[in-house]
Amino acid sequence: MRSTTLLLLATGASAQLYPNQSLLNHTCALQKPLLSCPPQDPSLVDSCCVETFGGLLLSTQFWDTYTGRESSGQLLPTDTWTLHGLWPDFCNGSYTQYCDLSRQYDPIPSPNTTNGLPNGTFVPSYTGPNIGTFLEPFGKYDLLAYMNTYWIAQNQDNAGFWGHEFSKHATCYSTFATACYGPEYREHEEVVDFFETAIKYYKRVPTFEWLAQAQITPSNETQYSYSDVVGVLTEKHGAVPFLGCSGPRFNATTQGANSTDSGYTRLTEVWYYDWVYGRPQEGDTVPVNASASYQTNCAKTEGALWYYERTESSEKKPTVPY
């Protein structure tokens, strides 16, 4: 869930981002791989070969301590942050969502309108086969196994969460438009492509490993400082990420009584920001800092953050390599 301090732009649509786009002449090897930010004019470049809509990419991860579906065998991978998604923000940091309702596979749309407001276009709940089944005709059973290991939902089934991430975010990339796949496009080809791309970005930012190298590991006894955590991740990624925390607020705790620090105290999320040359699929990126006005909602007091351990019943050692 994003902070409301980020401006929602556009109202979403029920069709492709750029209507009447040709199915032909999208040979990206012939195109100059332009940088996605500053924004490119889609009338002057091939929007299938350079990201022209959401050029600021956010590779996002969760640190959850439970899934809520342990009884169904939906468990977290030990010693690993899990994948949240790959989001396309506009270059100014604002964003839109559910940009193509003809590709709406989210069973629990959140929000349930395209602009998050009552006057937005209603996003209907998806009731068809779960999005995980879309991978099967392509023989992507290894991809499905990887996603069921590292792309883990909380309080809903994994496939429903994947459907949410694709429908809310992937439909707002110009480079995942179905027209980009040419006249031989196979249904759901771009879904597979998006999942593979999101995992490509996830694999190169191993948050747990980076923090552990700095002796920052999950603990129910030791607290950490925001400055230390963000410092490690900034050095490794090459730019300042957003760190997300949940409650309680520091000044509502006994430790923080009389403090003016109202940041949250439980480390739960990280967003890594990049610009991209050409298509996101190639992964040719430039790390960029999270917005100076919204780099964290965590408490910044020294020693204020909890990075909690998971219970043994909520995790398992992965059999699929990271």
**In whole angstroms, what is the distance from residue 45 CA to residue 2 CA?**
31
Q: Which 3 state secondary structure label does DSSP give 266? A: strand
Q: Of 130, 142, 145, 147, nearest to 188 (Cα)? A: 130
Decide: 152 and 158 in contact? Cβ < 8 Å: yes
Decide: 202 and 58 in contact? Cβ < 8 Å: no
Rounded to 5°, angle at Cα 274 from 272 and 277: 155
CA 222, 226, 228, 229: dihedral to nearest 10 degrees? 90
Q: Of 42, 37, 133, nearest to 93 (Cα)? A: 37
Two tokens, residue 39: 């924004």
The residues assigned a catalytic role are: 84, 165, 169
User: How many CB atoms sit inside 10 A of residue 103's CB?
Assistant: 22
Q: Which 3 state secondary structure label does DSSP give 268? A: strand
Residue with tokens 């290991």: 149
Length of the chain, please?
322
User: How many CB atoms sit inside 10 A of residue 186's CB?
Assistant: 11
Residue with tokens 């920001």: 273
